[in-house]
Amino acid sequence: MASGVIAGCMGALLGLGGGVFLVPFLNAWFGLDFKTAAAISLVTVIATSSAVSAGTTGRNLINLRLGMLLEVASAAGGVAAGVTISHVSDITLERGFAGMTAFIAVLMLTRLERRNVIVDTTVDPGTLGGRFHDDESGGEVVYRVRRLPLALFVSFIAGNVSAAFGLGGGILKVPVLTAWCGVPMRVAAATSSLMIGVTAVASVPIQYANGYVNPPLAGAAVLGVLVGSRGGLWFGARARSKWLKLLMAVVLMLVSLIYLRRTL
Amino acid sequence: MTGDRPQLARLEIHLGRLLVTGVTISAILLAIGLGTWLFDPHRASALLFLNAGLIVLMGTPILRVIVSFAEYVAMRQWFFAAVTVVVLIELSVTVLVALSKR
């Protein structure tokens, strides 16, 4: 339950499901096998998603259109995971994941100053872009979405990774959306939070039916995550997006090290 | 495409309410279930409450997609209504596979 609190807090801050912390924790400390840990984590991802999204609505931060479009790819990734992942060994998957997270961490660090917001509000945001009130700029700002195919591709991979590792997939989507696709950090985090619930639901019912979800443990983890996400929302509203990105990069590095260590 | 912003903002608020309701119901069910389970792990009602909580939790995002579809149709935004249908089809594949395993 305590790990759920930490996972929920990070999840709310960064638009992640928090599974990156919960899975290694349940796996290493509780001694649960990987599939059970991943399934419980996915259930908490749904809780984080619903709780955090409910807490961010009304501020125009969630990009509903972009989110729904990317959900097509991430849900397909989740459904396809069963097929694709059985052909790849666990160790290859974990090494690939470690390498990918390290790469994204470096990418985020090199783009800390890029905020993707256009202060000129007369600019047309396009169908997928949007506008929101940005405290850091002191007024309404506009952003435009670029490189949609890349965002779709990453969402598919995120859906795949989500089902395989018990994560929400935000850990891949948020950095790519902010670094390459023109989406501001807060919008990327809020949109990702909303999406991960659907990503998780694309694979968790099968794991539930297979008996990988232990109801009392899942219940405790979900309640912990719900408490933690309140804290994360509170911090998130007060933190600068540069620090959020720095935190994200640190988290990615840690995750990369955790998975790299597991494969050695 | 800026004229539909108020409608999108309203959709966001509707979805927010839906998510709060789903999370609250499932948290209450899970808390009752967990409390009963800690008291007596063999009581049938404990697992009943826990499983009901988990099912409500899993159902909430699916319901969100269904509500989004209805609202996009009401807004006559056919492209996004179609996108929502694709997501729903993907989710129903998972749910059907899960039900077939029960």
Between β-strands A130-134 and A139-143, what pairing exists: parallel, antiparallel or unpaired? antiparallel
User: Which structure tokens are listed for A222?
Assistant: 């979900």
Cβ distance B53 to B24 under 8 Å?
A: no
pLDDT for the residue numbered B27: 92
Residues of A within 8 A of B86 (CB-CB) are: 72
CA dist A17 and A23 (Å) reads 11
Cβ partners under 8 Å of residue A98, min gap 6: A255, A256, A257, A259, A260, A263
What is the tens place of the pLDDT at every residue in B50-86?
999 999 999 999 999 998 899 889 888 898 899 899 9
User: Which structure tokens are listed for B95?
Assistant: 């749910």
- Does B2 have pLDDT greater than 50? no
CA dist B19 and A22 (Å) reads 23
Helix (H) or strand (E) holding A4: helix A2-14
A24: three-class secondary structure by DSSP: helix
CA dist A153 and A88 (Å) reads 19
ipTM reported for the complex surpasses 0.95: no
Inspect the interface and report whether the beta carbons of A126 and B1 lie closer than 8 Å: yes
Residues of B within 8 A of A201 (CB-CB) are: 58, 61-62, 91, 94
Taking CA–CA distances from B84, the nearest residue in chain A reads A68
Nearest by CB to A201, from B1, B58, B68: name it: B58
Q: Spell out, as residue ranges, where chain A has pLDDT lower than 50.
A: none
Cβ distance A102 to A253 under 8 Å?
A: yes
User: Which structure tokens are listed for B20?
Assistant: 């709060």
DSSP for residue A146: -
- Does B96 have pLDDT greater than 50? yes
Chain centroid to Cα A37, Å, comes to: 17
CA dist A46 and B23 (Å) reads 9
Inspect the interface and report whether the beta carbons of B68 and A64 lie closer than 8 Å: yes
User: Which structure tokens are listed for B52?
Assistant: 């009901």
Distance from CA of B46 to the nearest CA of A (A): 9
Chain centroid to Cα A158, Å, comes to: 9
CA dist B44 and A126 (Å) reads 54
Inspect the interface and report whether the beta carbons of B98 and A205 lie closer than 8 Å: yes
Q: Tell whether A121 lies on the interface with B, counting CB pairs under 8 A.
A: no
Q: Tell whether A218 lies on the interface with B, counting CB pairs under 8 A.
A: yes
Distance from CA of B90 to the nearest CA of A (A): 6
Model confidence, pTM: 0.85
Inspect the interface and report whether the beta carbons of A46 and B80 lie closer than 8 Å: no
Nearest by CB to A47, from B15, B37, B57: name it: B57
Distance from CA of B74 to the nearest CA of A (A): 15
pLDDT for the residue numbered B58: 92
Domain-wise residue ranges, chain A: 2-263
* One-letter identity of residue A44: T
Mean pLDDT of the region B12-41: 88
Cβ distance A141 to A134 under 8 Å?
A: yes
- Cβ atoms within 10 Å, residue A240: 12
Measured distance between the N- and C-terminal CA atoms of chain A, rounded to whole angstroms? 29
CA dist A53 and A259 (Å) reads 29
pLDDT for the residue numbered B85: 92
Nearest by CB to B23, from A47, A205, A219: name it: A47
Measured CA to CA in angstroms, residue A73 lies from A49, A80, A154, A199, B33 at distances of: 18, 10, 8, 9, 35
- Does B18 have pLDDT greater than 50? yes
Taking CA–CA distances from B71, the nearest residue in chain A reads A64
Residues of B within 8 A of A209 (CB-CB) are: 97-99, 101-102
Residues of A within 8 A of B33 (CB-CB) are: 215-216, 219
Q: How confident is the model at residue B28 (pLDDT cuts 50, 70, 90)?
A: very high
Inspect the interface and report whether the beta carbons of A219 and B61 lie closer than 8 Å: no
Chain centroid to Cα A41, Å, comes to: 13
Give strand pairing partners of A143: A130
- Does B33 have pLDDT greater than 80? yes
CA dist A153 and A50 (Å) reads 24
DSSP for residue A59: S
CA dist B16 and A55 (Å) reads 7
Residues of A within 8 A of B64 (CB-CB) are: 197-198
Q: Kindly report the average pLDDT of chain B as a whole number.
A: 86
Q: Crossing angle of helices B5-39/A64-85, nearest 10°? A: 50
CA dist A54 and A197 (Å) reads 12
Inspect the interface and report whether the beta carbons of B86 and A72 lie closer than 8 Å: yes
Q: How confident is the model at residue B26 (pLDDT cuts 50, 70, 90)?
A: very high
